[in-house]
Amino acid sequence: MRFVLCVVLGIYSFGLISYTLSAFVSVEAACTHCFKGEGAFAGGTGPNGEASTPTNRYVNVGFAAAGPNSFPASDASKISGAINTAAGAWNGAVGEDGTSKTPYNVQSTTNGNKVNVAVTLVDRIPGKAPGDPDACGGIRVIPDANGNVSKALVLIPKNVFNSLTQDEVAKIIEHELGHFFGLENIGDSSTGRCDSIMDKAPDEACKVKNNISKGDVSTVNKHANQNNQCDRKRKGGVNPLSGGGPVEPAIPFYYPTICYYFILEVPHYNEGRYMYSDYYLEDIICI
């Protein structure tokens, strides 16, 4: 009788463990959502001028080295190292099957003609107050004329950049690249059941704890290959660690090829008296 009972309990325990594990995997897969109604980034050019393919899409990430919103020369090594670390994290991440990767091949570049994602310094994330955990970083994803993801500006506040280590800055870049790849923020996964890079920073210290999860990779692949299965709508303006807002007014950003960022000013008045202005990125022309 004891033997039979032990066998029954053993089977029950095994089934409960299996169910719990499957439930956990399902939660991980479901906790990351992607943006619908847009074409995924088709890719830039490779290090030797190679063309991107649907399964190997080059993503060239650079940083502003001169002009407004640029990184000082003394910080070039730190931001360059952070970009390389973030690139390695995305390039090495695998999906829920344990082998599949995203179609994106992220690489650092100093060639302004090739930059697809530019990392810049700002005084603050527009629309966010200092000390707000959502003010740790932001991204402005720019579509082409057909609504496909084309390029992006990553915004990092100066005080955040200065207070974090190189690896901690890399985490913010990983998060913002997730937006570029079509992932939405996760509002709150403090229960610990969702280890996603798209979770928000825990506090105003801006030290992102999570890693790129298997669910993140699988959802990026969904966005790239089965966009009709995504269920979120990308917001306009800057997409910080949560929410949205206008673009910090900085004209132009300078690279070896000069790109002019045209900004629309929307002034706000109170009883006929000017109070402040919001600024929105309207167009980019590179010459």
199, 192, 90: which is closest to 136 by C-alpha? Answer: 199
92 falls within a domain = yes
35, 23, 31: which is closest to 190 by C-alpha? Answer: 31
68, 111, 30, 90: which is closest to 254 by C-alpha? Answer: 68
Residue 189: count other Cβ atoms within 10 Å of its Cβ.
18
26 falls within a domain = no
Number of domains in the chain: 1
What pLDDT is stored for residue 253 in this prediction? 30
234 falls within a domain = yes
| Residues in contact with 97: Cβ distance below 8 Å, sequence separation at least 6, in sequence order | none
CATH of the domain at 123: 3.40.390.10
78 falls within a domain = yes
Task: Return the bridge partners of 80, or none.
Answer: none
101 falls within a domain = yes
Strands 138-143 and 149-157: antiparallel
Q: Describe the strand order of the beta sheet including 57-63 as a list of residue ranges.
A: 104-108, 57-63, 117-122, 149-157, 138-143
197, 71, 74: which is closest to 136 by C-alpha? Answer: 197
Residue 33 to residue 160: CA distance in whole angstroms: 27
129 falls within a domain = yes
Q: How far is CA 133 from CA 119, 176, 210, 242, in A?
A: 19, 14, 15, 9
SS3 label, residue 135: helix
Computed on alpha carbons and rounded to an integer, the radius of gyration of the chain in Å comes to 21
Digit-by-digit pLDDT tens for the chain (287 residues) are 443 333 333 433 434 333 333 333 333 445 889 999 999 999 999 999 999 999 999 999 999 988 888 999 999 999 999 999 999 999 999 999 999 999 999 999 999 889 999 999 998 887 776 666 567 888 999 888 888 999 999 999 999 999 999 999 999 999 999 999 999 988 644 444 577 898 877 777 888 888 999 999 999 999 999 999 998 888 765 444 433 333 333 323 333 344 555 566 667 666 666 666 666 665 555 43
Task: Return the bridge partners of 277, or none.
Answer: 267
270 falls within a domain = no
Find how far residue 179's CA is from the centre of its chain.
4
Residue 17: count other Cβ atoms within 10 Å of its Cβ.
10
State which residues form the domain around 240.
Answer: 31-246
**Residue 209, class by beta-carbon neighbours within 10 Å (0-12 exposed, 13-18 middle, 19+ buried)?**
exposed
Find how far residue 263's CA is from the centre of its chain.
23
258 falls within a domain = no
pTM over 0.75: no
Tell me the helix, strand and coil percentages in the chain, rounded to 5.
30, 25, 45
SS3 label, residue 271: coil
